[in-house]
Amino acid sequence: MTEEKTQNDSKSRVSFLSKAKREFSKDKVGLISLIVVVSLLLFIFIAAIFIPTKDFVNVNIMDQFLTPGTSGHILGTDDGGRDELAMLIVASRNSLFISISFTVLTTIIGLIIGLTAGYFGGGVDWGIMRLTEFLQLLPTMMLVMVVVTIVSEYNAVTLILIFTALSWMSGVRFVRSLTLTQSRLDYVKASKLSGASPLRTMLVEILPNLSSFILADLTLNLAGNIGMEVGLSYLGFGLPASTHSLGTLLQLATDPNNMTDRLWVWLPSAIVILLFTIAIVSIGQVLRRVADQRQSLA
Amino acid sequence: MWKLILKRVLLMIPQLLLMTLLIFAIAKLMPGDPFTGRFSPQLDLSELARLRKEAGLDDPWYVQYFRWIGNALHGHFGDSYVLQKPVVTLMGERLGNTIVLSLFTTVFLYLFGIPMAVASAKNEGKFIDRFWLTFNSITYGVPALVIFLFVLFLFGYTLQWFPTSGSVNIDAEGFVGIWLSKIYHVILPSVTIAALSTVGIFTYLRTGLLDNRNQDFVRTARAKGVPEKQIFWKHNFRNSMLPIAQNFGFQIVAIFSGSIFVEQIFNYPGMGLLYYSSISTRDYAVITALMLFYGFLSLVGAVLSDIILAWVDPRVRIS
């Protein structure tokens, strides 16, 4: 028993970064995914700064549906004669900005509520969990669609807030169960006995022990949230029509002519979505192994 | 058992109350009312005000709420002002299609998910296991709608094996002909959804099968000399299926309410497409009725899951 304990202690002293390094070096797919995601993110966010607004706003019917490679349009043009490549970069930036901020926000809310429920337990826990369970039963997608329709004036920020308000519940259960297991451990009892305030125990003692799990969960959720953003804007309930997103580019595929004869208007955005989500999931799986060393490949 | 079911159904009442209040609030926030569609240059505004008063739209909200609940219980959801038909008729036309689609999806889902998990668990760490693990992590992350588009492009338009829209061929004749045509229309969407949604079943069942391998009841059976095949199916598999059985209610609801994308992309006239089109045309009576329908459905799904759990697992019944 004591031997096992010291082993655990020495293991947890290994820093997160060195564990991550070890796991990534053992998983080639994860490593490639990390490189792909980081370089694509940098490229998209930097390139988007240099694209003049007129490139993706001004409509020029004369240049409609140019095939890739003609008159300087590397990926061709869409139904409005706009350059596909410029649109793709700006759309990816918008989609990723929304999904990332939405994921971070829901994680923070999940952390606050989950920590509270798991730490205090009893009546607080019961109340929070019944409410969360009830809200999870609601058809989120449909509610988002309705709320977006009711709120007539909205922009990216309001959209993120609507998403968050209707789907913060998913993280709560996860954080709560992690907190419950931690709360039973001696170090939490020691912290309580030494007179630390609940807030201090939660944030200084418990939270650092959950962080690697939460990072892994956040990464995996990001993939799902990219899907949600893409889906809603595909249906026309995402960003306002003037703002491009990967979903609005995909929307062009609803026209059978575009789908079969003008692959360049929708295929690039579909590929970008696939690339991002698959890469993010494989990064998330490596991070999960970092958090839970029992699954380690190293 | 009956006591447990009764208790669980009674627990649904406060949930139902909360949910209907929420939907009612959203419905009240939506612009327009049942008479919005009758606007015309000839219309007298005082006449409109009289109609509104008669319909009780000037009453306090709680009076309106209980009247709305009462009407809903009697199956009155008002008229769609876009299509000028009772909402119930509209929903009835579409419900059948969605049920057929969901039924096929559910069957395919378990048909794919269970053998996948069994094959994986039996070959832990080998190629088959890694293959299905990778498959499920990809389908978990990738947005279904992108795959729907690829599938529609490949099998619908390019190879032309399956129809690209509708729920039945207009040329189909006779009972058998119509049903064959209906099934032909749902195969592509239902197989696609099923193949993309196995991750839950796969993960639960695979983990269960691997964990139960070292449980006491399996060791006891092995010590008694029970054949390996029987140990696997009668002892291990049956116990590992408990979480899958419990999840059945939620799974059905997820398939039902997840149908918006499929129905939109495959242009399949079901409830999801009705919801989508009524939001696009701001047909509020239909939206409200459909929200109520889906909300009620998810509550029933949760109850169903709990009842199934109590039915398959005697431990739950006793405690």
Is the distance from CB of B268 to CB of B97 less than 8 angstroms?
yes
Q: Which residues of A are less than 8 Å from B31 in CB distance?
A: 150
Q: How confident is the model at residue A1 (pLDDT cuts 50, 70, 90)?
A: very low
User: Which value, in Å, is the radius of gyration of the alpha carbons in chain B?
Assistant: 24
pLDDT at B154 over 90: no
Task: Give pLDDT, residue B37.
Answer: 59
Nearest to A256 among B143, B157, B294 (CB): B157
Closest by CA to B89, choosing from B246, B289, B281, is: B289
Task: Give pLDDT, residue A7.
Answer: 46
Q: What is the pLDDT of residues A65-104, one digit of tens each?
A: 666 766 666 667 777 667 778 888 888 998 999 999 999 9
Q: What is the pLDDT of residues A179-204, one digit of tens each?
A: 988 888 888 888 888 888 888 888 88
Task: Give pLDDT, residue A10.
Answer: 47
pLDDT at A131 over 80: yes
Q: Do A234 and B15 touch (CB under 8 A)?
A: no
Nearest to A142 among B29, B157, B291 (CB): B291
| A182-196, B39-53, B217-231, B285-299: least confident range | B39-53
Task: Give pLDDT, residue A3.
Answer: 44
Is the distance from CB of A260 to CB of A280 less than 8 angstroms?
no
Q: Which residues of A are less than 8 Å from B257 in CB distance?
A: 139, 141-142
Q: How confident is the model at residue B43 (pLDDT cuts 50, 70, 90)?
A: low
Question: Using CA atoms, how far apart are residues B243 and B226, in angstroms rounded to an integer?
Answer: 25
Q: Do A145 and B26 touch (CB under 8 A)?
A: no
Nearest to B298 among A139, A141, A234 (CB): A139
Task: Give pLDDT, residue A106.
Answer: 92
- Mean predicted confidence (pLDDT) in B56-70: 80
Cα first-last separation, chain B = 11
Which two three-digit tokens encode residue B157?
A: 């338009």
Q: Which residues of B are less than 8 Å from A231 in CB distance?
A: 143, 145, 261
Q: What is the pLDDT of residues A230-267, one digit of tens each?
A: 988 888 887 776 778 888 888 887 777 777 777 787 88
- Mean predicted confidence (pLDDT) in A50-62: 70
Q: Do A145 and B257 touch (CB under 8 A)?
A: no
Which domains are present in chain B? 2-73 (no CATH), 90-318 (1.10.3720.10)
Question: Using CA atoms, how far apart are residues B223 and A109, in angstroms rounded to an integer?
Answer: 50
pLDDT at A11 over 60: no
Task: Give pLDDT, residue A61.
Answer: 66
Q: Do A146 and B140 touch (CB under 8 A)?
A: no
Amino acid type, B289 = A
Question: Using CA atoms, how far apart are residues B239 and A216, in angstroms rounded to an integer?
Answer: 30
Q: How far is A129 from chain B (nearest CA, A)?
A: 13
Residue with more model confidence, B228 or B54? B228
Task: Give pLDDT, residue A5.
Answer: 44
Q: Do A227 and B290 touch (CB under 8 A)?
A: no
pLDDT at B274 over 50: yes
Buried b (16+ CB within 10 A) or exposed e, B146-175: bbbbebbbebbeeeeebbbeebbeeebeee
Q: What is the pLDDT of residues B188-222, one digit of tens each?
A: 999 999 999 999 899 999 999 998 888 888 888 88
pLDDT at B307 over 90: no
* A73 Cβ contact list (under 8 Å, min separation 6): A63, A66, A83, A84, A85
The pTM of the full predicted model, rounded to 2 decimals, is 0.84
Which two three-digit tokens encode residue B232?
A: 């696997």
Task: Give pLDDT, residue A34.
Answer: 92
Q: Which residues of B are less than 8 Å from A141 in CB distance?
A: 257, 260
Q: Which residues of B are less than 8 Å from A260 in CB distance?
A: 153, 157-158
Task: Give pLDDT, residue B262.
Answer: 87
DSSP state of A294: G
A165 lies within 8 A of chain B by CB: no
Q: Is the ipTM of this complex over 0.85?
A: no
Question: Using CA atoms, how far apart are residues A277 and A95, in angstroms rounded to an integer?
Answer: 12
Q: Which residues of A are less than 8 Å from B138 in CB distance?
A: 278, 281
Angle at B12 between CA B11 and CA B17, to 5 degrees: 115
Token pair 């080998």 is at which residue?
B126
Task: Give pLDDT, residue B32.
Answer: 67
Is the distance from CB of A206 to CB of A183 less than 8 angstroms?
yes
